[in-house]
Amino acid sequence: MNILDKIIFDKRREVALKKSLVSTAQLESSFLFGNRTISLSKLLRNSPTGIIAEHKRRSPSKPTINNSFSVEEVVTGYESAGVSGISVLTDAKYFGGSLEDLILAKAAVNVPLLRKEFIIDEYQILEAKANGADAVLLIAAVLTPEEIKNLSEFAQSLSLEVLLEIHNLEELQKSMVPSLDIVGVNNRNLKTFEVDLNYSKDLASAIPEDFVKISESGISSIDTVNTLKSFGFQGFLIGENFMKTDNPGASAKVFIDQLIGKN
């Protein structure tokens, strides 16, 4: 069993337990459930940088990335830096995140928030809406075409945007449905955690122009962003590159300033 299979195995048990403790009616009655969402795709289309910065404490390949800063410190730093959106990891066991991180981020900033999670059930989309998300992630590698269609339509019915993550042409071809807003190419193989930017370059032309294209993982230089822009990418999800530093927000600001030619 590879790491992705382990994560999904544990996630199914976790979701089943949560369903037994918190009903969908309770989620729907949440204070944040009726909040108006902010469009991540619109901001990416109009942004000069397209940077989506990530709050990420750890990962299966990096047991500790950064535990030194509160969620509020990280996300307010990102907002001040001028990011287009913020990705918040909510998986606890493998990434050290939580839904509370999402709530705290929502209270602290006014930029679109992506719930970064291994979503396998509509219940998790209700959780996302109830805890302040503006967009949700669906991962093609762990979902069937029917699940992608149903989950994305359900998310959009709640005014949540949908980022579909793919890693190869097969995943792209099985996953294209109208109820997507953003298609992201993950340069990291979730089964081995190896990173190769050629995945984005090779898949760029195959992604329909109807969707905003973003590249995820392994992005750490201005040259890489500019190269990926030439392939039609409008967004760039960067987590570890900022989080591993002494001040993620300041690192994001330096990066964005360089990208737009301020430095």
Active site residues: 54, 56, 116, 165, 186, 216-217
Contact 86, 75 (CB under 8 A): yes
Q: How far apart are CA 119 and CA 40, in angstroms?
A: 19
Bridge partners (DSSP) of residue 163 are 137, 182
CA torsion sign for 185, 5, 158, 171 is positive
DSSP letter, residue 35: P
Dump strand ranges (E) for 74-181.
85-89, 113-116, 135-139, 161-166
> Do the Cβ atoms of 45 and 212 come closer than 8 Å?
yes
* Kind plus residue range of the DSSP H or E element containing 215: strand 212-216
Distance CA 158, CA 57 (A): 29
